[in-house]
Amino acid sequence: MIGFLQNLIDALSLGSLYALAALGIGLLFGILRLTNFAHGDFISFGAYALIVPSVEVTATKFIGGWPWYLMLPVVTVIVVLLALLSDLLVFRKLRQASAPTLMIASFAVGYVIQNTILMIYSARPKAIDVWSNLQQQVSIGELRVPQLQLVTIGVTVLLMVGLSLFLNRTPYGVQMRAAAEDFRMARYLGVKGNFVIGLAFAISGVLAAMASLLFVSQTGTLSYVMGVPLMLFAFIATVIGGMGSLTGAVIGGFAVGFVSVMFQAYLPEQLRSFRDAFVFAIVIAVLLYRPSGLIPTKALAQRV
Amino acid sequence: MLEVDNIHVNYGRLQALRGVSITAQEGEIVCLVGPNGAGKSTTLAAIAGGVTPHTGRIALKGRSLGGLPPETIARLGVSLVPEGRHVFGTLSVAENLRIGTFQRRDRAGVASDFERILEHFPRLRERLQQPAGRLSGGEQQMLVIGRALMTRPRLVMVDEPSLGLAPKIVDQVYDILLTLRRSGDITLLINEQSSERVLKFADRIYVMRGGRIHLHDRAANLQDGKAIMQAYFGFAEHATAPAAAKTPGAAGGLDIHAAIERAAE
Helix axes A2-32, A227-241, angle to 10 degrees: 80
Q: Does residue B256 register a pLDDT over 70?
A: no
User: Across the interface, do A177 and B91 touch by the CB < 8 Å criterion?
Assistant: yes
**Interface predicted TM-score (ipTM):** 0.84
* Residue pair B76/B65 in contact by the 8 Å Cβ criterion: yes
For residue A185, list chain B residues with Cβ-Cβ distance below 8 A.
Answer: 82, 86, 88
Q: Which of B132, B126, B123, B161 is nearest to B33 (CA)?
A: B161
Per the structure, the count of domains in chain A is 1
- Higher local confidence (pLDDT), A219 or A85: A85
Predicted confidence (pLDDT) per residue in A161-203, tens digit: 999 999 999 999 999 999 999 999 999 999 999 999 999 999 9
User: Across the interface, do A174 and B98 touch by the CB < 8 Å criterion?
Assistant: yes
pLDDT band per the 50, 70, 90 thresholds, residue B236: low
Distance from CA of B69 to the nearest CA of A (A): 8
pLDDT band per the 50, 70, 90 thresholds, residue B111: very high
Confidence (pLDDT) at B257: 47
For residue A181, list chain B residues with Cβ-Cβ distance below 8 A.
Answer: 88-91
Which of B85, B88, B110, B157 should one mutate to test binding to chain A, selecting the residue with the greatest count of A CBs within 10 A? B88
E strands present in chain A: 126-127, 137-140, 143-146, 221-222
Give the residue from chain A lying closest to B149, CA to CA. A189
pLDDT band per the 50, 70, 90 thresholds, residue A303: very low
User: Across the interface, do B91 and A174 touch by the CB < 8 Å criterion?
Assistant: yes
Q: Which of B125, B151, B172 is nearest to B48 (CA)?
A: B151
Average of pLDDT values for B19-40? Answer: 90
Distance from CA of B141 to the nearest CA of A (A): 14
CA A74 to chain centre: 18
Task: Give the three-class secondary structure for A240.
Answer: helix
Predicted confidence (pLDDT) per residue in A49-59, tens digit: 999 998 888 88
Confidence (pLDDT) at A300: 53
CA distance A187 to A180: 11
CA distance A128 to A131: 10
- Higher local confidence (pLDDT), B94 or B219: B94
A6: exposed, middle or buried (C-beta count within 10 Å: 0-12, 13-18, 19+)? middle
Structural domain for A31, as ranges: 2-303
* A164 close contact with B: CB closer than 8 A: no
Mean pLDDT for chain A overall: 91
Average of pLDDT values for B90-101? Answer: 93
Q: Does residue A65 register a pLDDT over 60?
A: yes
B2-264: CATH topology: Rossmann fold (3.40.50)
